[in-house]
Structure 1
Amino acid sequence: MSKRKKLSENAALMQQWDFEKNVRGPEHFTAYSHVKVWWKCGQGHSWEAMIFNRTNGDGCPYCIGKKILTGVNDLQTLNPVLAGEWDFEKNALLPSQVAAKSNKKAWWKCSAGHSWEARIFSRNEGFSCPYCSGQKIITGVNDLQTLKPQLAREWDYDKNSCLPSQVGIKSNKKAWWRCSLGHSWRAIIFNRTAGRGCPYCAGQKVLVGFNDLETLYPKIADEWDRDKNRILPTAVTPGSNKRVWWKCPVGHSWRSDVASRVNGRGCPYCVGKVQYKPKCVR
């Protein structure tokens, strides 16, 4: 586009030319002039801006929230509920003096009395009190020790670098735990508060000598086919759905999941459910 193009040829900008405040008409300027003139948008907002910037796409600063027009685009007007959490003691400005989409940081105070600093636009997009949501900790108010004392008793103080009074109940951090039987494991704090317990006591993880098949069901483990299986009966729990090979006292070999064996399902050949066909030796 030519630098000498007349501003009057831009129909869109001509509609926003403020004929009341500007002494000279738009026909006296080029589209890329660095002179500041007055404009009025479709909403009636009046402002001064360089013609060059308007030609390059700059719009009304009030409509986009760059400038404040009290009663039109300020936080108090557009989001009065959020303005109700404005901390008037810590902030130098009022909610009527900032834009709802401002990138400035401000102090806030929720209905529970928690005070924190956050950017105005992030609050306007839905981010709430970090203490009420558990993102930040106030010891004695929203920490794990205070809200879930029974769960905090399983905190492994030897392995964790922090205390249960320093984490929230909704934290996604992993921590070490120790149940009443002394089993130690790692788990996300939020999962623990949601009800997940010791994986060894629940049979979700194997602990040799405690909850493995060999320990709890030695007679069934005796039928474990050690020639065909790559793992030992000490590597699975009685509730496992893993299919493995078995060999009964008669020598029949078959596959079945561990849980079915524990629930009473025996050799299908011995009970006649499957006809046994011995391999022919040629």
Structure 2
Amino acid sequence: MLRAGAPGASMTGALELPATSLRAWPPQPAPLRVVGGGREARRQMLGQMRGFWKEQNRVRRERIQAEVEAAQARQAEAHAYWDRHKATVKQQWATRTTGRGQTMVADIPEVAAQWHQDNGARSEDVSATADRKKGPYLWECPLGLGHEPWSATPKDRVLHGAGCPSCRQLIRLVDISTLAAQYCGPTPVSDMKYAAHERVPWTCRTWAVDPANGSWWPVEHHFEAVVKERALQADACRVCAGYVVDDTNSLHTWFPEIADELDDPDADACRLPTTRHNVPRRQAAGEESGGVYATFPWRCRRGHCWEATILNRVQGGGCPSCSLSGISKEQVRLVAELAGLIPLVPPGPTDPRLPDDLPDFSSHQLVVPPQHKPDHWRYKAVEVDAVFQLAVGTRIGVEYDGAFHHSIKRRDRRQYENEKGQVLVAAGLLDLLVHVRLGDLPPLETAQALAVPVPERSTAYQQACAAAAAIEARFPGSVPGLDAYLVGGHSRRQDQADAFIVALWGELRPPRRRPARTQPRRLRPLKETPPHNDSLLTPAGAPYRNPDRPKEILRDYSCACGNPRLFTAVQAQVTSGNTKSCRCLQRQAKRQWRAPPVPRGDSSGA
């Protein structure tokens, strides 16, 4: 790639190319169309760059196929000529009138016409059956293709009909101009056969996108490929096709924040693609294969380790321990309130984002043993919003079922929710699963689950009261202090819930973003409205828009005070009564007599 600096550096440091050298590059593509920013914008730019490369490969592939077909047509014409030449020579030899040893090369006109002038003897003096004992002679190709003279015995030329050996292997790589322009092998391109099995270097000139600013830069892709595969199979640039990774399409170039989290010392992010998801078929079929997915180890900035494919990371997958998927702020507030009444079981290692004195209200991942896992379940780990340890030695789980995500309109979860409690209880992971269900959700039909319906607009305190009361009714004496909590009438642990939300989300509530206007604002129609009942103004024309402020509708009026000049005012102000005259009432009010003001000293003394 034509770039200065270390791999993965910005393309703004690309080498300055002279204007004449750009003629070897295809035309520069149109500017990119990118919506948004960040990783999503880079994915869009990467997709458009790949689309351009794919189109360039398609054009080159069609051009290579056309050039190969044209070269093969010329080869077929040469073969046809020498086949006719062979038949003619054999016919002339068979119909000769002289004896075998008396026939000279000149007696065979087709062969004599190819006699080279540098031969030491004349064709009339050389026998048509002369072999190698008398030495081979030089011959020149009659097709005028620029072939060098070749040596052969008259016997081979006449008796066997041998022709120009260069015409039998006519096609060279130089005849395929598209490949010849990319060829960088040590053998001269004019000597390289187009169907050779040699692996040689190639250079593809194309355009790449700088992920920093989305601009196009001329680059060179360097790769190796077999000549025959490129010519006969029309294989295009291996870098453009994604089989070879360099600075233009590497993970380090496009997603450096993901490359920094790679936790494999043997993996070079500068040579890793951005789309790897599956292992090669041969590797997947091997005995030591770990599966069909090409996973890599990752470590986030908080020290969490996990495995995922590069494609999953590029498409938005992140650290599962830091992920907020499956956790809602309403769930956190409910769990925080219940944690003040029932001992909360920590979900696992403490999240480093949380302060030391703050409980972890995250969800639990309970691993179901294989013998208890249903066959149609995809994952062996089951997420439970919270787990509590009751005073009576019972372990229960609490699920927050929101009215939106758990409704039948979105997806029917009833079978999974019923099986979830049964499987967790049968596996000995829980003794009961409590579902706090908001709104009008369908009931659960299993003895291992306890459904607690609450109104959709209920607060965290109301939800905690209903859940704690249901748990106390199922396990008497398991929720100490419940009566005092119910009498209190207010929540107690929302400060901890707010601190947890701020630590994980960064803010309690995201700012409400006004949707971007996709269409221009519609102006109000021009409609005539009458003046106010107390107004002195009478319309003197139709309403019209203010040229400086199109949203404002103006109208000309005549005033009853006798002013001959028309008065222009905002029609809405005249209709509402804010403007009642041509300012004559204002001037009249100023001329009215007013009592003199009372001195300050007199008013204070009074």
TM-score when normalising by structure 1 = 0.48
> Whose Rg is larger?
2
TM-score when normalising by structure 2 = 0.26
